[in-house]
């Protein structure tokens, strides 16, 4: 599914496309609709950078079983497990 954000909306919010993606990712993470890994991918950011963004806004990082499993899978794919 694709969502189109018009230039009019970006202009009205005074945000770039990247900023809009980050704001949506942060909101969905806070609502626990996306995991940390999913939200950072949606935002187009490395996970650590996304965690820094959350920390700068004093948003607690919840790290659940799904996040742990994703980290294990990523390590396997990188040949580190």
In a domain, 1, yes or no: no
Q: What is the pLDDT of residues 13-60, one digit of tens each?
A: 999 999 999 999 999 999 989 988 899 999 999 988 999 999 999 998
Asked if residue 79 has pLDDT above 80, the reply is yes
Please tell me the total count of domains within the chain: 1
How far, in whole angstroms, is CA 41 from its chain's centroid? Answer: 5
Asked if residue 68 has pLDDT above 90, the reply is no
In a domain, 2, yes or no: no
Which structural domain, as residue segments, surrounds residue 45? Answer: 7-77
For 3, the 3-state DSSP assignment is coil
DSSP string, 21-69: HHHHHHHHHHTTSS-HHHHHHHHT--HHHHHHHHHHTTPPPP--HHHHH
Residue with tokens 């079983």: 65
Q: What is the pTM of this model?
A: 0.74
């Amino acid at each position: 599914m694709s969502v189109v954000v018009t230039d009019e909306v970006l202009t009205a919010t005074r945000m770039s496309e990247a900023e809009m993606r980050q704001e949506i990712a942060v909101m969905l993470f806070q609502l626990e609709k996306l995991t940390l890994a999913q939200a950072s991918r949606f935002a187009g950011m490395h996970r650590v950078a996304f965690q820094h963004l959350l920390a700068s806004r004093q948003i607690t990082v919840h790290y659940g079983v799904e996040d742990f499993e994703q980290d294990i899978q990523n390590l396997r794919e990188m040949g580190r497990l």
